[in-house]
């Protein structure tokens, strides 16, 4: 997975989906984005040792982008659930201290999205995909005990065929300064000149 996502569903709807309450100070309407890159949330890539065992989280998104490199031309595709609902990805988080900062600097909170082998819906576009969690396994992912580690690990599987759909989108998504609803609209192929 390339690391670009779209997240435009309002936080209040995502909270209902996850059966959670919004944290104090979170705007229930939120600020939509159609082009979130890792640099908007992570400043470093820390090691996530022990995170799988103790610090799992859910990452709600509306869709993700993947680039098709076949045929010599890079074509971005937008992936979303076929049922139109937001998808929930398996994630890990960590709190750590940046050794470059003073010892009294606040700890950094970072997260990562867990990936797996590509499912059939990726149509050969990439060699991995995010782990998409269905609603009935959210609790297991979050709270699976030591004796349930095999069951938790089994959740890290590709999605079954028919879970995701994708279509080509504008190459504008390649620039994080572009952030508008048109980024998820299907792009028609350029006409061939003979």
**Sequence-distant (≥ 6) Cβ neighbours of residue 89 within 8 angstroms:** 58, 59, 60, 61, 113, 114, 130, 131, 132, 133
pTM of the model: 0.83
Please give the domain boundaries of the chain with CATH numbers for all domains.
Answer: 5-184 (3.90.1680.10)
Q: 135 pLDDT band (50/70/90 cuts)?
A: very high
The answer on pLDDT for 91 being more than 80 is yes
The answer on pLDDT for 42 being more than 50 is no
The burial class, CB within 10 Å (0-12 / 13-18 / 19+), for 50 is: exposed
The answer on pLDDT for 43 being more than 50 is no
**Model confidence pLDDT, tens digit, residues 21-31:** 887 887 888 88
**Model confidence pLDDT, tens digit, residues 46-80:** 455 577 777 899 999 999 999 998 877 889 999 99
**Do the beta carbons of residue 190 and residue 168 sit within 8 Å?**
no
Pairing relation of β-strands 56-61 and 87-96?
Answer: antiparallel
The answer on pLDDT for 2 being more than 80 is no
User: Quick one: average pLDDT of 133-150?
Assistant: 89
User: Quick one: average pLDDT of 148-172?
Assistant: 93
Please tell me the distance from the alpha carbon of residue 173 to that of residue 37, in angstroms, as a whole number: 10
* Sign of the CA dihedral running 68, 38, 52, 8: negative
Measure the CA dihedral 117/119/123/129, to 10°: -50
Most confident of 4-18, 62-76, 139-153, 167-181: 167-181
pLDDT, mean over the chain: 86
Task: Indicate the range of 50-54, 153-157, 178-182, 183-187 predicted with least confidence.
Answer: 50-54
**Do the beta carbons of residue 103 and residue 191 sit within 8 Å?**
no
């Amino acid at each position: 997975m390339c690391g670009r996502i779209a997240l435009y569903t309002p936080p209040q709807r995502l909270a209902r989906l996850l059966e959670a309450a919004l944290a104090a100070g979170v705007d229930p309407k939120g600020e939509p984005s159609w082009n979130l890159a890792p640099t908007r949330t992570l400043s470093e890539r820390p090691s996530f040792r022990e995170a799988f065992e103790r610090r799992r989280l859910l990452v709600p998104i509306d869709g993700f982008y993947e680039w098709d490199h076949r045929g010599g031309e890079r074509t971005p595709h937008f992936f979303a659930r076929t049922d139109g609902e937001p998808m929930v990805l398996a994630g890990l988080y960590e709190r750590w201290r940046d050794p470059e900062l003073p010892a009294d600097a606040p700890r950094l909170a970072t997260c990562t999205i867990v990936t797996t082998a590509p499912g059939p819906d990726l149509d050969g576009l990439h060699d991995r995909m995010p782990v998409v969690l269905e609603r009935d396994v959210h609790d297991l992912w979050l709270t699976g005990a030591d004796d349930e580690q095999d069951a938790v690990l089994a959740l890290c599987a590709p999605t079954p065929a028919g879970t995701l759909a994708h279509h080509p989108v504008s190459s504008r998504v390649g620039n994080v300064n572009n952030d508008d609803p048109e980024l998820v609209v299907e792009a028609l192929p350029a006409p061939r000149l003979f």
